[in-house]
Amino acid sequence: MSDNWPPEQVSLNEGARVLFLTKNLELIKQQLYNGLNLRMEDLSVEDLLDDINTDVMTPAWVCFDYDPAMIANNAYAGLMHEGERVFAPNALKDGGFEAIVTGHRKGTGSSRETAAQCERWSGIRIVIAASFAPIHERNNINLGQLMGDHEILKRLQDGESISLSEFTSKYDSVTQLIIENGGIFPFAKKLKADEIELPDVDSTHRPMTMAEKIISNKLIGLNGVAKCVSPGDAVLAAVDGGYSHEFTTAQVHRFLQQEYGDDYAVPNPSKFAVFEDHLLYATGVPRFGPFEEKIQLLRDLQISFQQHTGVRDYSAVNGISPGICHQVAREEFIDVGDFIQATDSHTCMGGASNALTYGVGSTEYANLVHNQFAFVKVPESIRFELIGTLDDGCTAKDVILHILWKYAKNSETLDRSMEFGGPGLGSLSMDERATLCNMATECSAKTGICEPDNLTVEWLLSRRDDLTEEDIRSAFVMPDVNAHYDGGVHTINLDEIRPMVAHPGNPDEGIPSDPTNGAYIDELGDVSIDIAYAGSCTAGKDDDFAYYAMVTKAALDAGLTVADGVECYIQFGSKTVKDLSERNGWSRMFEQAGVKLIDPGCGACIGAGPGVSNESEQVTVSAINRNFQGRSGPGKLYLASPLTVMASAFTGKITAWRSDLFDEGPSWN
């Protein structure tokens, strides 16, 4: 890796190659293995793969390595053709490529920085796409990668030398500085050494959205002077807390050792944490069994990091996790008005508590946990004004699937803060609000955030001894009247929401598996299922379990158990959720009905636990958040609400819940 990157003038090096990820996968193989060199002028953007997601770039098992050089050996291991890897081990590294080219929305999916690392440590320094998913773009910036479009590529291939500013001018001034200095670490060091001067923020008073207000409350370097911020402002903001898990902590530890020496310190560890929640059941999945040693090393390095820094320790006890990081964090330490960052894309779930929370990559997290500030580009906002109340057969999951289908699909939520408010929000429990915020990341939004109310106070007080009502209310952040929403204000009438799924598409025919593939259940026709999975950070909360219990009780009362041929799994989001389920007698009831209960943690959601499919023909209905091809096994996955998942487990096909569903025997057939 060159220390002199990026140069003032950017050109393709003599002999360096450009890899085009074409929809015609044979062409990719020709480039990788037979020396085919393509030119942009001979292709159109439509010929290139869209929606390359991070699971394709570095599937979960690739992330069991924490050294970026090792990760690069398996770059794009998730891109499959007729059951075979398109990219053999080391294929990207050995190809001598300097630039890589795709179509739209490069890097959707999780926040995993390994996706960006696999390219950089394969020698790629220029990444070309029509558009990038926000977190992936950020990860590229933090690693000092240059991103450009297909027109820039044409000029580079024509031998032109292009000024660095052409790559950076689309960004705010701080992002430009980060890229010009080669990434977030060199930038942070120069900032500390006073070698970089930050641009000032316009202090003109203006009405602000909730996200803007929280950022303006956290601005650093202003000596207590209150300032307003606007979308696009590039600022440094104090971070209140954060967390990482065993998939990511090892890299954080390693990067900090590399940058600041073995005796680096984390100055304020009390609201930072590590979680053992993602890989507890991974070694029980046959395809992950061979990685047992690597997984253990990740666990060991997380323990080393925790002991070195003194951050909160949420390690498994006797092999049982305290719970999924996002769920436990909102239960135990995210406060109203906080600015929280963590190494997982569903960090945005904390927005239910009226906090600004979003996921970052390992490099950015390592920087913020050490330096206690984050670079923030103030996001635009889009507001969803909820009115009415949900029908008994619907949950917040149906609302967010509706938003994915009607708004996110058209990129209206892209990189924006999704602000939820209005009288309808008051009718949704705190757990339901968490579902809305959780899936902001599937909307490719920056984050989701809810207005606070009495329920916020009650929910926090019932869980937290360290808070008073006054503490909570005084921290409330409401949007200003006349705040500006670049994405507009959209009324969602909850009365009109109908039970929905996101269908698995047909990747072989160019329809990607995507959470935006909305469809109403009553228009789906018969879809028989093999697996019903209920759990994950999206659907492992107290109120999700109340839904599972309600449907299960109705089924048992009607003399039903889980349908023949269907495997039904329910996984607790945290230990407190498990305790609740046991106290209420739900756990016994689930088992009576033939449900398999799984201890707290992440599992099927990342293909690393019980509930994954094993055959491509298997059909799963799942309460999780992503249906990307291959993420939870090779089968077809429909995303649905907790009510739909449980109702379907008993009927054997995708079925919306209604209170009289089981009254007249198997009339759903």
Q: How many residues bind ligand SF4 (CB under 6 A)?
A: 11
Instruction: Report the C-alpha gap between 339 and 341 in whole angstroms.
Output: 7
Q: How far is the CB of 120 from ligand SF4 (least distance, A)?
A: 24
Q: How far is the CB of 598 from ligand SF4 (least distance, A)?
A: 12
Closer CB to ligand SF4, 346 or 446, in the complex: 346
Instruction: Report the C-alpha gap between 360 and 259 in whole angstroms.
Output: 18
Closer CB to ligand SF4, 104 or 326, in the complex: 326
Q: How far is the CB of 290 from ligand SF4 (least distance, A)?
A: 21
Query: Residue 319 has which token pair?
Result: 């092999």
| CB neighbours of residue 669 within 10 Å | 8
Closer CB to ligand SF4, 17 or 278, in the complex: 278
Q: How far is the CB of 246 from ligand SF4 (least distance, A)?
A: 11
Helix (H) or strand (E) holding 491: strand 489-493
Contacts of 648 (CB under 8 A, 6+ apart): 529, 532, 621, 640, 654, 655
Show the CA angle centred on residue 300, arms to residues 299 and 302, nearest 5°.
Answer: 65
Q: Which of positions 593-632 make contact with ligand SF4 (CB under 6 A)? A: 602, 605-606, 625
Among 93, 271, 346, 575, which residue interacts with ligand SF4 (rule: CB under 6 A)? 346
Percent of residues in the chain assigned helix, strand, coil, to nearest 5: 40, 20, 45
Q: How far is the CB of 270 from ligand SF4 (least distance, A)?
A: 23
Phi, psi values for residue 162, rounded to 5°: -110, 135
Q: Pairing mode, if any, of strands 146-148 and 162-163?
A: unpaired
Q: Which of positions 34-93 make contact with ligand SF4 (CB under 6 A)? A: none
Closer CB to ligand SF4, 417 or 625, in the complex: 625
Q: Which of 591, 595, 542, 550 is nearest to 570 (CA)?
A: 595
Burial 31-62 (b: 16+ CB within 10 A, else e): bbeeeeebebeeeeeebbbbbbbbbbbbbbbb
Closer CB to ligand SF4, 233 or 344, in the complex: 344
Closer CB to ligand SF4, 368 or 604, in the complex: 604
Q: Which of 219, 223, 142, 215 is nearest to 181 (CA)?
A: 142
Among 344, 398, 432, 542, which residue interacts with ligand SF4 (rule: CB under 6 A)? 344
Q: How far is the CB of 536 from ligand SF4 (least distance, A)?
A: 4
Among 536, 552, 581, 627, which residue interacts with ligand SF4 (rule: CB under 6 A)? 536
Contacts of 15 (CB under 8 A, 6+ apart): 96
Q: At what angle do helices 396-406 and 430-438 cross, to 10 degrees?
A: 30
Q: How far is the CB of 406 from ligand SF4 (least distance, A)?
A: 23
Q: How far is the CB of 363 from ligand SF4 (least distance, A)?
A: 19
Q: How far is the CB of 272 from ligand SF4 (least distance, A)?
A: 17
Q: Give the DSSP letter of residue 198.
A: P
Among 369, 537, 570, 637, which residue interacts with ligand SF4 (rule: CB under 6 A)? 537
Q: Give the DSSP letter of residue 359.
A: E
Pattern 319-338, ligand SF4, x by CB under 6 A: -----x-x------------
| CB neighbours of residue 582 within 10 Å | 13
Q: Which of 172, 113, 102 is nearest to 137 (CA)?
A: 113
- Quick one: how far is CA 490 from the chain centroid? 24
Closer CB to ligand SF4, 216 or 447, in the complex: 447
Q: How far is the CB of 279 from ligand SF4 (least distance, A)?
A: 10
Q: How far is the CB of 344 from ligand SF4 (least distance, A)?
A: 5
Q: How far is the CB of 243 from ligand SF4 (least distance, A)?
A: 11
Q: How far is the CB of 620 from ligand SF4 (least distance, A)?
A: 14
Q: Residue 90 in contact with residue 46, Cβ under 8 Å? A: no
Q: How far is the CB of 502 from ligand SF4 (least distance, A)?
A: 14
Phi, psi values for residue 247, rounded to 5°: -80, -25
Helix (H) or strand (E) holding 302: helix 292-309
- 152 to 40, 126, 127, 156: CA distances (angstroms): 10, 10, 11, 6
Q: How far is the CB of 571 from ligand SF4 (least distance, A)?
A: 8
Closer CB to ligand SF4, 538 or 644, in the complex: 538
Which residue type sits at 213?
A: K
Closer CB to ligand SF4, 212 or 277, in the complex: 277
Q: Residue 393 in contact with residue 658, Cβ under 8 Å? A: yes
| CB neighbours of residue 390 within 10 Å | 19
Q: Which of positions 105-144 make contact with ligand SF4 (CB under 6 A)? A: none
Q: Which of positions 272-301 make contact with ligand SF4 (CB under 6 A)? A: 278
Closer CB to ligand SF4, 95 or 323, in the complex: 323
Closer CB to ligand SF4, 102 or 613, in the complex: 613
Closer CB to ligand SF4, 136 or 326, in the complex: 326
Instruction: Give SS3 for 245.
Output: strand
Instruction: Report the C-alpha gap between 505 and 136 in whole angstroms.
Output: 23
User: In angstroms, how far is the first alpha carbon of the chain from the final one?
Assistant: 61
Burial category of 206 from C-beta neighbours within 10 Å (exposed 0-12, middle 13-18, buried 19 and up): middle
Closer CB to ligand SF4, 395 or 625, in the complex: 625
Closer CB to ligand SF4, 536 or 587, in the complex: 536
Q: Pairing mode, if any, of strands 9-10 and 162-163?
A: antiparallel
Pattern 543-582, ligand SF4, x by CB under 6 A: ----------------------------------------
Q: How far is the CB of 399 from ligand SF4 (least distance, A)?
A: 18
Closer CB to ligand SF4, 175 or 447, in the complex: 447
Which residue type sits at 6?
A: P
Closer CB to ligand SF4, 191 or 606, in the complex: 606
Q: What is the DSSP string of 377-430?
A: EPPPEEEEEEES---TT--HHHHHHHHHHHTGGGTTTTT-EEEEESHHHHTS-H
* Chain residues in the site for ligand SF4 (CB under 6 A): 278, 324, 326, 344, 346, 536-537, 602, 605-606, 625
